[in-house]
Each structure stands twice: as structure tokens, then as C-alpha cells.
Amino acid sequence: MKKKILIVIADYYKDIAKGLLGSAKEVLPKSGLIKVISVPGAFEIPVTISKNIKKYDAFLALGCVIKGETPHFDFISHASTEAIMKLSIENKKPIGNGIITCLNMRQAIARKKKGREAAQAVISVLSQ
């Protein structure tokens, strides 16, 4: 059976998003159905997955949150991670968390290939 995978990507940082998506696609099976939905930021990823939870076998959450001068970074990072984990457990479907959290743009650029690791995690859980 072909697996259906939805990638939800926050494209607030376009170059970082492109790197995350490209590296994830490198390892995803070519035989499956893969759809990509772009959202403005990491906070919108969980609701988009929730709206599509019944239509797909697995999900990838990709995006980047960079720390600024306010606690906003902490709130968004924590809320997104909690919501993704809750969706995964409640629906018994793998969601690869490829939302990178960085202190600055230099770190984000260095980590923009991390989509690959999230995709590999999803593939691993799907094959169990």
C-alpha cells in the first residue's frame, strides 16, 4: 500500500524552509503520495495537520523559529512541540518534528538540512 504523507511547512524564513523541504524530500519514498502545504509560521502547523489528520498516514512539520528579544520564541516553540506530540499520540500517526529552533540566523542556515532527520523518523515509524 502506498503511504500518504503531508508535509506542512512554515515559510516565514523562505530560504530555511526551502532547505528543510529539499532535504526531507531526498529521503521520502518516491512511491508514496506526498503533498506540501505552506503556512505562515510554526504556530499554524499543528492546526493544519489537525484539519488533515484523517486524510494522511503520516506528517512532517517543518519550519524555523529564531530567538528574538522577547519570550515569544519560547511560547511558539513550546506550544508547537506540545501540539504536534499531542496530535501524534491521540491519532496514533507519526509526525516528524522538523521545526528547528535557533538562537540566530547563522544557526538556522547551518541546520536547514534537518528536514531529512524528521523524514527519516517518519519513515521508520511507518515501517513498524
Tens-digit pLDDT profile for residues 15-49: 999 999 999 999 998 877 999 999 999 999 999 99
Helix (H/G/I), strand (E/B), else coil: 11: coil
Using one digit for the tens of pLDDT, what is the confidence trace for 76-102? 999 999 999 999 999 999 999 999 999
Catalytically annotated residues? 72
Distances from the Cα of 14 to the Cαs of 54, 63, 99, 112, 124, in angstroms?
28, 9, 14, 11, 28
| pTM of the full structure | 0.95
